Amino acid sequence: MIDLTTRNPTLQPEQLTHDLTPSHRYQHVRLDTYAPNPDYPSQAQARTAIQAFLKGAQVRPGGFRLFRRAKPEGRGLYLDGGFGVGKTHLLASAYHATDGTRALMSFQDLMYIIGALGMTRATDAFRTHDLLLIDEFELDDPGNTHMANTFLGQLMPGGTSVIATSNTEPGALGQGRFNASDFQRQIQGIADRFDTYRIDGPDYRQRGVRPEDTMTQDEYHTWETRQNPAGLAHLTYRDLSRHLLNVHPSRFSRLLQGVQAVAITDLTPTPDQNVALRFVHFIDKLYDLGLNATFTGTSLTGLFSDTYRHGAYAKKYSRCLSRMSEMLQEARR
């Protein structure tokens, strides 16, 4: 069994720009495998918008070739919607549908890259890219948004195109409110380069699994017997939370290297937001890597306080709970 608490991986700043490709979970998705919900036409419209966006030149077997540019400047496409409507599927599909130099990363990963390399080195690292795909663009931190605006503002005039996605809080969706106008306002310097699309629909990750359904002890023991002990990491939520405070989030993927399954037991309410945000990013990495994972302890609805779930980082917490629910559903199969 793997003990994650004994691992403290190192990572050189330059390594942050390596392997910016679709994660294991999204290796086999394609635009034609995206199944739009017929009750929400905006999903099919978003796929059509991506297909049109990628046809910056001619279609070639195996994908669209980026970009024999009719214009030297890069263009942008922004997809905004709730959790679990397929935005990341579409983003990864766009990566697979293109040739040329491209990179796919989360907004948070981009922030780590800029922070580690500095703005000048970060922009130089991506200056020759034809396409950047940025998942979960966050508008709730003005400092980070300003950095992203500066970064893209230096790249797009030189020919780098961008597709970005963002999550809108479920409560805001209920009010018919999306983030597209906020996005346009925050990136004023490059807003005219972006076309924005909203994607409606329910969170498919919540189908069949309630957020509070962590595993019982009997369920957990059944799950554990199906795992390869040599690839299993088992630790309590308390031990994991303590360890994550000593590992930079940019190294979480390296922390999980060689791991096939993760069991996090004895979930308890999280009183410290710094601990909670580290855990959220760890869950993102578990999910992206497509690892088997399960959880026991307190219900997911009780894991984060209402103050966190409706505060400045509400979207991070909602996404985390949505993904944990999906992983629990997968663990029960």
**Band (205; pLDDT cuts 50, 70, 90):** low
Which DSSP helix (H) or strand (E) runs through 261?
A: strand 261-267
**Band (11; pLDDT cuts 50, 70, 90):** confident
pLDDT of residue 33: 96
Structure tokens given for 33: 């495998």
Can you name the residues that pair with 295 across neighbouring β-strands? 264
pLDDT of residue 219: 96
The rounded Cα 101 to chain-centroid distance in angstroms is 20
Better-predicted residue by pLDDT, 59 or 192 = 192
Structure tokens given for 147: 């950095």
48-57, 62-71, 212-221, 257-266, range with the lowest pLDDT: 62-71
pLDDT of residue 212: 61
Report CA Rg, the chain: 20
**Band (179; pLDDT cuts 50, 70, 90):** low
Q: What is the mean pLDDT of residues 17-28?
A: 89
pLDDT of residue 66: 56
3-state class (DSSP) for residue 77:
strand
Structure tokens given for 183: 């996005």
**Cβ proximity of 299 and 269 under 8 Å:** no
pLDDT of residue 258: 94
pLDDT of residue 261: 98
**Band (59; pLDDT cuts 50, 70, 90):** very low
Tell me how far apart the alpha carbons of residues 109 and 249 are, in angstroms, rounded to a whole number. 9
Closest C-alpha among 201, 230, 241, 234 to residue 220:
234
At residue 6, does pLDDT exceed 80? yes
Tell me how far apart the alpha carbons of residues 181 and 102 are, in angstroms, rounded to a whole number. 27
pTM, rounded to two decimals: 0.77
Over the stretch 250-299, which tens digit does the pLDDT of each residue have? 889 999 999 999 999 999 998 899 999 999 999 999 998 889 999 999 99
**Would you give the end-to-end CA distance of the chain in angstroms?**
22
**Band (308; pLDDT cuts 50, 70, 90):** confident
Which DSSP helix (H) or strand (E) runs through 235?
A: strand 232-236
Which position has the token pair 């279609």? 59
At residue 65, does pLDDT exceed 90? no
Look at strands 161-167 and 194-199 and give their pairing: unpaired
Q: What is the mean pLDDT of residues 128-144?
A: 86
**Cβ proximity of 325 and 317 under 8 Å:** no
Tell me how far apart the alpha carbons of residues 42 and 139 are, in angstroms, rounded to a whole number. 22
